[in-house]
Structure 1
Amino acid sequence: MSWCQIHNLRVPVRRAFSRATNAHRPWHPTVLTQGSHCLSVPRRLALDTYTGSSPRTLIAYHTSTKLLSATTTTTTTTTPSSPIPIQEYTPPQTGLLSILPRSWVPYAELIRLDKPTGSYYLYFPCVFSTLLAAPLTAPPAMAPPLTVLGTSLLFLAGAVVMRGAGCTINDLWDRNLDPHVARTRLRPIARGAVTPFKALVFTGAQLLAGLAILLQFPPACFFYATPSLLLVATYPLAKRVTYYPQFVLGLTFSWGAIMGFPALGVDLLQNGAAQAAAALLYTSNVAWTVLYDMIYAHMDIKDDAKAGIKSIALKHDKETKQVLTGLALTQVALLAGAGIATGAGPAFFVGSCGGALVTLGVMIKRVNLKSVKNCWWWFVNGCWITGGVITLGLAADYLVRYSEAHGEESA
């Protein structure tokens, strides 16, 4: 037999061996076939796994958001099938993102500009601490309403910017995990619309914008705010090493519960009441964050299990509502302790503490943890329902005490 004849035999033998050894990897190029054509796996190929009642369907998803193929496999054989229709990425047709220049849209999606709920959850602790600190400002006069309002608006701008930076950092860490989760596979970095390098540069620009806002506050705020950057950068790692990344998120998102005190000139190192109030309010918000993010985590519980992502929802799936109840009681008890430390009045305890207890109880009872849509509704609206009643109670208590203080001065 000539060398050419021997050489020509090597290719089919090698292909057959490759198919046999990779049969347990349906996404491999030697197995992903359609008809007689072998499909290539381009750079940053994203794979989504969907499990039906019988066979398993594996979808190869390209970063340009086009489907490459779909094959149906069983435990023993691999048979080709026609492509399964999956909704491809389409640019936003409505809302704020639809009026932005096309090149800006991926960056707006990266900071979740079209999903501002996260910014509100980051903002509420700032408002809580600002209203709680206002009556503690140094004599002769309590912080006036315009000062409290201006400080709150600065916090709102900072929350939007820093939440966007946190989302970008999160997507950079999760760029190899997001393609495996149905809800996140179309995020800009996961689908290849923004490169990791551009996202890193964009993060730097957002942090500079956050610094510009931070410099509008009293100088002490800079020193209190800086440690939070470490939490912002490391939170995405928590889901890889612990089933309680929501606790790390709580430490991060609750930082604003401290910032309102130095923002109004209250010295946390010298004022014992303010120090106790800040600590209690901070831990209260940590409990709240774990609570609402546990509901949020139930939206991805199936995909997280497949992708190896850890969460409190996976760890305590069967006793979720009991855990949520414990978190709610902890949150309200700590919130009440913060009010006691600052000498709050009935408006706070009835409005903020009582309101939070009722709204959280209703949410925990009614949320359907098996429904993605229902979990999302309560995550979005629970922000305003619970955060709103706490804010209203704090605002009412501040205005009552401000009026009383000025009434005594005029008398």
Structure 2
Amino acid sequence: MKGTTSLISYRPHSSQSPSSTDRPAATTDNNAATHYVPPQRGFVASLPESWIPYAELIRLDKPAGTYYLFFPCIFSTLLAAPMASATPMQILGTTGLFFTGALIMRGAGCAINDLWDRNLDPYVERTKFRPIARGALSPKKALIFTGSQLLAGLAVLLQFPTQCLWYGIPSLLLVTTYPLAKRVTYYPQAVLGLTFSWGAIMGFPALGVDLLSNHASLEAAAALYSSCVAWTVLYDMIYAHMDIRDDVAAGIKSIALRHEHNTKTVLSGLAAVQVALLATAGVAAGAGPIFFVGTCGSAAVSLGIMIWKVQLKNVKNCWWWFKNGCLLTGGGITLGLVFEYIAQATDLYKSGNDGH
């Protein structure tokens, strides 16, 4: 994920980054890195040297993207659980499979993105030392590795009920087309939202809820999916601000550039849409007060704080809110859904009504 790009012809791949004479004047930051520095700490740093480019390719050292892909899956699983009368063990098992799938498919998506952008990444400060861009991995090796990831993702998908296969396969088309969308529109985040939010549909069939024969579940899934699309556009708009100077210099389009002077207004609108659609999903699913207070309320508060606090001209601050806003908003929604599931599983609402 990075700022959207205008249609630029690919040059033959080289093991070296473009020379300064070929490159448009990008950032003037005096702190810009001039050479690649291998990871010095963390899990990736402990890997054999030959493995590090592959770990960097799938962003193993930056798990925020995996969390963003996983959260819609757990949202839909917990929202569908009362409809399916799912047990806690069923929910845990399904959630574990979804997390494994999110880890694999997020990595595959990053690799596909880097293959498409291999001649563009060297122009952007934040991406110029990615493995393919700096020549640590050839496109052929990256492509083979990506194929193995997609096969692993298919293996995970096959662990779900058969109907999940038919719901899951269309998402592969979105995974491969997102990098293309960045070349033709200022709003590739909409395509990214359609891609990253797919899990908001998958939790229902994963627990045996047939969306095509259950009108209420279809409404709930559609509203939840749309809510997650709005969330994706929101957080990726903040992410795009990290590249805004390089995007201008390189002639790259982005949603951050398109709305540079009214970003917070757009973010506020997206947050309102996200929370409204989340509430709509709860109504369709027959959720109770805990959902609306805990899930919708926490989302509204966390999004409001993030939009208020984020400093869009500060790269580090944008990154902090992108990384931690995921856990604040996604975690709050998840906790609200967990308590809603417990309330329904223990007949808390019925007991309250009987007391009156």
Work out whether the TM-score is over 0.5. Answer: yes
The question of whether the paired residues in 2 share the 8 Å contact of 1:239 and 1:309 is answered with no
Does residue 1:109 correspond to 2:56, yes or no? yes
The question of whether the paired residues in 2 share the 8 Å contact of 1:299 and 1:372 is answered with yes
Pick aligned residue for 1:259 from 202, 219, 236: 202
Deviation at 1:172, TM superposition (A): 0.2
Q: Mind listing any 5+ residue stretches in structure 2 that lack a counterpart?
A: 1-13, 352-356
Query: For residues 10-409 of structure 1, what are the structure 2 equivalents within 5 Å?
Result: 45-47=18-20, 49-50=25-26, 52=28, 86-137=33-84, 142-404=85-347
1:92-120 deviation digits (Å, cap 9, x = unpaired)? 12100111111000000000000000000
The question of whether the paired residues in 2 share the 8 Å contact of 1:245 and 1:310 is answered with no
1:190-220 deviation digits (Å, cap 9, x = unpaired)? 0000000111101100001001111110010
The question of whether the paired residues in 2 share the 8 Å contact of 1:276 and 1:341 is answered with yes
Query: Match for residue 19 of structure 1?
Result: none
1:282-304 deviation digits (Å, cap 9, x = unpaired)? 00000000000000000001111
2-structure distance, mates of 1:406, 1:146: 23
2-structure distance, mates of 1:42, 1:348: 53
Deviation at 1:86, TM superposition (A): 4.3
The question of whether the paired residues in 2 share the 8 Å contact of 1:168 and 1:199 is answered with yes
2-structure distance, mates of 1:196, 1:250: 26
Deviation at 1:42, TM superposition (A): 7.9
Question: Which letter maps to 1:216?
Answer: Q
Q: In structure 2, do the counterparts of structure 1 residues 176 and 407 end up closer, same or farther at CA, with 3 Å as the change threshold?
A: same
Q: In structure 2, do the counterparts of structure 1 residues 171 and 46 end up closer, same or farther at CA, with 3 Å as the change threshold?
A: farther
Larger Rg: 1
3-state secondary structure, aligned to 1:104: helix
The question of whether the paired residues in 1 share the 8 Å contact of 2:157 and 2:164 is answered with yes
1-structure distance, mates of 2:167, 2:15: 46
Q: In structure 2, do the counterparts of structure 1 residues 126 and 85 end up closer, same or farther at CA, with 3 Å as the change threshold?
A: closer
Deviation at 1:359, TM superposition (A): 0.7
2-structure distance, mates of 1:402, 1:317: 47
Query: Match for residue 5 of structure 2?
Result: none
Percent identity, please: 67
Higher RCO, 1 or 2 (CA under 8 Å, sep at least 6)? 2
2-structure distance, mates of 1:185, 1:299: 14
The question of whether the paired residues in 1 share the 8 Å contact of 2:211 and 2:217 is answered with yes
More strand by share: 1
Q: Mind listing any 5+ residue stretches in structure 1 that lack a counterpart?
A: 1-40, 58-83
Deviation at 1:85, TM superposition (A): 8.8
Question: Which letter maps to 2:308?
Answer: K
Query: Match for residue 65 of structure 1?
Result: none
Question: Which letter maps to 2:36?
Answer: Y
CA RMSD between the two structures: 2.1
Question: Which letter maps to 2:136?
Answer: A
2-structure distance, mates of 1:102, 1:407: 59
1-structure distance, mates of 2:245, 2:114: 20
Q: In structure 2, do the counterparts of structure 1 residues 196 and 278 end up closer, same or farther at CA, with 3 Å as the change threshold?
A: same
Deviation at 1:406, TM superposition (A): 12
1-structure distance, mates of 2:308, 2:348: 41
3-state secondary structure, aligned to 2:303: helix
Question: Which letter maps to 2:59?
Answer: R
The question of whether the paired residues in 1 share the 8 Å contact of 2:15 and 2:134 is answered with no
2-structure distance, mates of 1:133, 1:51: 47
1:255-285 deviation digits (Å, cap 9, x = unpaired)? 0000000000000000000000000000000
Question: Which letter maps to 1:331?
Answer: Q
2-structure distance, mates of 1:52, 1:394: 46
Comparing 383-392 with 88-97, greater Cα deviation is found at: 88-97
2-structure distance, mates of 1:243, 1:114: 28
Deviation at 1:238, TM superposition (A): 1.1
3-state secondary structure, aligned to 2:55: helix
2-structure distance, mates of 1:376, 1:85: 17
The question of whether the paired residues in 2 share the 8 Å contact of 1:288 and 1:327 is answered with yes
3-state secondary structure, aligned to 2:287: coil
The question of whether the paired residues in 1 share the 8 Å contact of 2:64 and 2:323 is answered with yes
Normalization by structure 1: what TM-score? Answer: 0.79
2-structure distance, mates of 1:157, 1:407: 36
